[in-house]
């Protein structure tokens, strides 16, 4: 923008005669306090290029194509009060007069970079314009928090959520221990690293491991405990590359595959496929758990699907590296055999379709495990493995070297290198959330503690207000947020469908914050078309071909689960808070329905419904990817976004193809 002296000269020339001000000779005017120094006075107002941003109004100068700062003008001319007042009044009139003149055919950038002022340029007429700095838009988008941390309600919520967090921490700590102490001691006496120590050694120092469903298998099998489902799976950074890691835990029933183990292994492969991530298998398993073979072996989503996925992932160009650190028998032998590169630990890792006892029973041949499928044989004779390691630590070093040779991108695309932390502490989420889902959850307060700078550009704020939609950033990545603020009405569903379409068209990832009891019911709702309007939102969610992430921060009931991107709608990741509930309906609602139809309410049934809707019950069955502390929500979303947007992923705008929207 032009300096204030340029503005003064311009206004003196155009308005001076009317005001009786001294006339300034064009090209010979001097700036204030500069005396008559010729080197700085020559054509001063014409050569001015000192740009000074200011958060107030600006108007385009029709003479020099610069910018007039009204406030700077007033301050500069403050030496003459009469001049300040009169010029300020006349400035608006003059600019409004110029704004009615024809707009010249030139652009601002060429005008600013053109040669010094020429008298002919006075024939140009620039219309008045306004200017807004980018930080102004951010300023009006900051969420103002109204949380009172000293209120009784906040303290009670924090106390109850603290109890839920204590339970979660206890269960997670137990799952991280793995198998029983005797099994862990036996593992260590064989000079083998514990499974979680292997994962820790594999990922880059100082980076996080996004573990999938650490509570899998909790109280799932009456006859045995299966901590973490007998397998450790998650997303970690290895040599700067985001990878999926699957590690068998041989301290849990010898690393054999229970039904939940198979399901978790398949879920890890699904994450790798959806997010185009290299996959590392740390193999130490005895194969399928035979007492559960009917639930492990024959069906479509059973043990054989692991190898189907490996073949499909390979055809899609997703690298896979297997590290054999223990037995790898029967069908499990195909895990390394179908990987791109294999590493085996000598005198510890074994690969064979049938172990020595079965070989003896079938053929009468007596052979040792090492001769039958040991590391030296496979590395030097069969060629099944590519690298021979002396121990676990050596094998992990070799695995890291394999990843470094993938020529795989390590940084996410389109993510800002700088970002702001939320303005409000995430720890306050414990007092904002409630274990009593009847209490309303102020969803704007949740958003304010998740997004960068607590900046949220809300979309259609005053329409369908029971659904909150808008744009924000999480660790520099632009996202669209869809959050419940009550029951879904027709207007809310239409608003949600509209916003999801926008994000799909722009290639913007979607974050769903679920706290939903369902869609509105009743005669009025049906007349308004809640069925077809709700279907629009469900269709938009199902067809949106952008990364989607879901966090259940309260209830997730009925068809509301579908409209808010539940598990069936393939979010890249889905997490639950400890207070979350999920089900067709709650126990109290079920009891009310049964009483309405004249049936007796079974207290045990009501209790069972409440138990089965619990977040831990859900996570034990892999209905989600984990129960997370509310204050870590932002970090989990950031790790998920890194997995979805990094590597060779490319989310292109306008790729979504929607189905029919019934109007």
Query: Between 365 and 48, whose confidence is greater?
Result: 365
Cα gap 16→12, rounded to integer Å:
4
Taking only the tens place, the pLDDT of each residue in 42-58 is 444 444 434 344 333 44
Dihedral of the CA atoms 591, 592, 594, 596 (nearest 10)? 160
Q: Work out the widest C-alpha separation in the chain, in whole angstroms.
A: 120
Measured in Å, how far apart are the chain's first and last C-alpha atoms? 51
Phi, psi at 515, each rounded to 5°? -155, 75
pLDDT of residue 44: 43
Taking only the tens place, the pLDDT of each residue in 189-220 is 999 999 999 999 999 999 999 999 999 999 99
Would you say 421 and 224 are in contact if contact means Cβ atoms under 8 Å apart?
A: no
Asked if the model's pLDDT at residue 618 lies above 70, the reply is: yes
Which range, of 108-117, 426-435, 442-451, averages the lowest pLDDT?
108-117
Token pair of 447, please? 């958003």
Taking only the tens place, the pLDDT of each residue in 274-333 is 999 999 999 999 999 999 999 999 999 999 999 999 999 999 999 999 999 999 988 889
Asked if the model's pLDDT at residue 127 lies above 70, the reply is: no
Cα gap 624→620, rounded to integer Å:
9
Taking only the tens place, the pLDDT of each residue in 21-33 is 555 444 444 444 4
Cα gap 84→73, rounded to integer Å:
8
Residues 157-185 have a mean pLDDT of: 96
pLDDT of residue 477: 94
Phi, psi at 234, each rounded to 5°? 175, -170
Long-range contacts of 460-463 (CB under 8 A, 24+ apart): 460/495, 460/498, 460/499, 463/491, 463/495
Quickly tell me which residue has 């102490």 as its tokens. 181
Asked if the model's pLDDT at residue 468 lies above 80, the reply is: yes
* Three-state helix/strand/coil letters over 439-503: CCCCHHHHHHCCCHHHECEEECCCCCCCEEEEEEEECCEEEEEEEECCCECHHHHHHHHHHHHHH
Would you say 403 and 237 are in contact if contact means Cβ atoms under 8 Å apart?
A: no
Q: Identify the H or E element spanning 548.
A: strand 548-557
pLDDT of residue 219: 95
Q: Identify the H or E element spanning 657.
A: none
Q: How many helices (H) and strands (E) does the chain have?
A: 26, 17
pLDDT of residue 38: 46
Cα gap 619→172, rounded to integer Å:
11
Query: Between 480 and 97, whose confidence is greater?
Result: 480
Cα gap 355→368, rounded to integer Å:
9
Closest to 396 in 3D by CA, of 249, 640, 196:
196
- Over its C-alpha atoms, the chain yields an Rg (Å, rounded) of 33
* Contact partners, residue 487, CB within 8 Å, separation at least 6: 466, 516, 517, 518, 519, 520, 560
**Residue 40: pLDDT band with limits 50, 70, 90:** very low
Q: What pTM value is reported for the model?
A: 0.80
Quickly tell me which residue has 């690969």 as its tokens. 351
Quickly tell me which residue has 């006892």 as its tokens. 357
Taking only the tens place, the pLDDT of each residue in 411-438 is 666 566 789 999 999 999 999 999 999 8
pLDDT of residue 427: 97
Percent of the chain with pLDDT over 90: 68
**Residue 541: pLDDT band with limits 50, 70, 90:** very high
Cα gap 79→245, rounded to integer Å:
72
Taking only the tens place, the pLDDT of each residue in 644-658 is 998 888 788 888 888
Angle at 161 between CA 157 and CA 163, to 5 degrees: 125
pLDDT of residue 18: 53
Residues 257-262 have a mean pLDDT of: 97
Q: Do the strands 477-484 and 467-474 form a parallel or antiparallel pair, or are they unpaired? A: antiparallel
Token pair of 243, please? 């990878």
Question: What are the C-alpha distances in Å from 374 to residues 268, 344, 357?
Answer: 28, 8, 15
Q: Render the burial of 600-611: b for 16+ CB within 10 Å, e for the rest.
A: eeeeeebeebbe
Give one DSSP letter per residue of 135-153, joined into a string.
HHHHHHHBPPP---TTSHH
Quickly tell me which residue has 């890691």 as its tokens. 245
**Residue 595: pLDDT band with limits 50, 70, 90:** confident
Instruction: Give how far the C-alpha of residue 428 lies from the chain's centroid of Cα atoms, to the nearest Å.
Output: 21
Question: What are the C-alpha distances in Å from 17 to residues 30, 61, 87, 94?
Answer: 19, 20, 12, 14
């Amino acid at each position: 923008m032009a300096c204030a002296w340029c503005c003064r000269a311009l206004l003196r020339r155009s308005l001076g005669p009317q005001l009786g001000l001294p006339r300034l000779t064009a090209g010979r005017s001097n700036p204030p306090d500069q005396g008559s120094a010729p080197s700085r006075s020559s054509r001063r107002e014409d050569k001015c290029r000192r740009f000074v941003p200011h958060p107030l109004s600006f108007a385009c100068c029709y003479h020099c194509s610069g910018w007039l700062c009204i406030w700077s003008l007033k301050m500069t001319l403050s030496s003459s009060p009469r001049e300040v007042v009169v010029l300020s009044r006349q400035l608006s009139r003059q600019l409004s007069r110029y704004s009615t003149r024809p707009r010249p055919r030139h652009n601002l950038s060429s005008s600013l970079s053109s040669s010094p002022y020429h008298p002919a340029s006075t024939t140009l007429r620039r219309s008045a314009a306004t200017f807004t700095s980018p930080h102004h838009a951010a300023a009006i988008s900051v969420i103002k928090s109204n949380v009172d941390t000293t209120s009784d309600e906040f303290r009670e919520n924090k106390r109850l959520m603290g109890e839920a967090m204590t339970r979660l921490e206890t269960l997670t700590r137990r799952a991280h221990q793995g198998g029983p102490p005797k099994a862990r001691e036996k593992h260590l006496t064989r000079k083998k690293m514990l499974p979680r120590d292997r994962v820790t050694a594999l990922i880059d120092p100082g980076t996080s491991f996004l573990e999938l469903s650490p509570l899998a298998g909790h109280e799932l099998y009456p006859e045995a405990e299966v901590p973490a489902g007998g397998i450790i799976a998650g997303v970690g950074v290895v040599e700067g590359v985001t990878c999926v890691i699957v590690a068998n835990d041989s301290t849990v029933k010898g690393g054999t595959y229970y039904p939940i183990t198979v399901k978790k292994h398949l879920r890890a492969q699904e994450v790798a496929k959806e997010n185009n991530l290299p996959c590392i298998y740390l193999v130490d398993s005895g194969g399928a758990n035979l007492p559960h073979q009917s639930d492990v072996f024959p069906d479509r989503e059973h043990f054989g699907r692991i190898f189907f996925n490996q073949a499909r992932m390979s055809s899609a160009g997703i690298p896979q590296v297997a590290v054999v650190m223990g037995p790898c028998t029967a069908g499990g032998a195909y895990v390394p055999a179908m990987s791109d590169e294999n590493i085996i630990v000598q005198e510890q890792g074994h690969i064979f379709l049938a172990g020595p006892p079965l070989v003896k029973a079938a053929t009468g041949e007596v052979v040792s495990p090492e001769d039958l499928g040991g590391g030296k044989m496979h590395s030097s004779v069969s060629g099944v493995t590519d690298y021979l390691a002396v121990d676990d630590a050596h094998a992990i070093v070799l695995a890291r070297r394999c990843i470094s040779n993938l020529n795989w991108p390590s940084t996410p695309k389109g993510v800002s290198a700088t970002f702001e932390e939320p303005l409000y502490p995430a720890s306050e989420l414990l007092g904002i959330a409630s274990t009593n889902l009847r209490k309303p959850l102020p969803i704007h307060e949740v958003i304010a503690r998740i997004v960068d700078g607590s900046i949220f550009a809300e979309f259609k704020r005053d329409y369908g207000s029971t659904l909150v939609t808008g744009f924000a950033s999480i660790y520099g990545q632009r996202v669209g947020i869809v959050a419940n603020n009550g029951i879904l009405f027709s207007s809310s569903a239409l608003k949600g469908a509209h916003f999801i379409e926008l994000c799909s068209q722009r290639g913007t990832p979607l974050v769903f914050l679920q706290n939903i009891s369902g869609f509105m019911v009743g005669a009025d709702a049906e007349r308004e078309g809640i069925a077809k309007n709700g279907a629009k939102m469900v269709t938009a969610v199902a067809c949106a071909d952008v990364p989607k992430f879901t966090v259940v921060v309260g209830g997730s009931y009925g068809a509301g689960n579908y409209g808010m991107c539940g598990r069936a709608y393939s979010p890249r990741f889905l997490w639950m808070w400890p207070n979350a509930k999920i089900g067709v309906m709650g126990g109290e609602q079920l009891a009310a329905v049964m009483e309405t139809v004249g049936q007796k309410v079974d207290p045990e049934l009501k209790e069972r419904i409440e138990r089965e809707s619990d977040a831990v019950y859900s996570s034990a069955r892999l209905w989600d990817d984990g129960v997370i502390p509310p204050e870590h929500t932002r970090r989990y979303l950031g790790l998920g976004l890194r997995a979805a947007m990094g590597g060779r992923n490319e989310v292109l705008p306008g790729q979504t193809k929607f189905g029919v929207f019934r109007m």
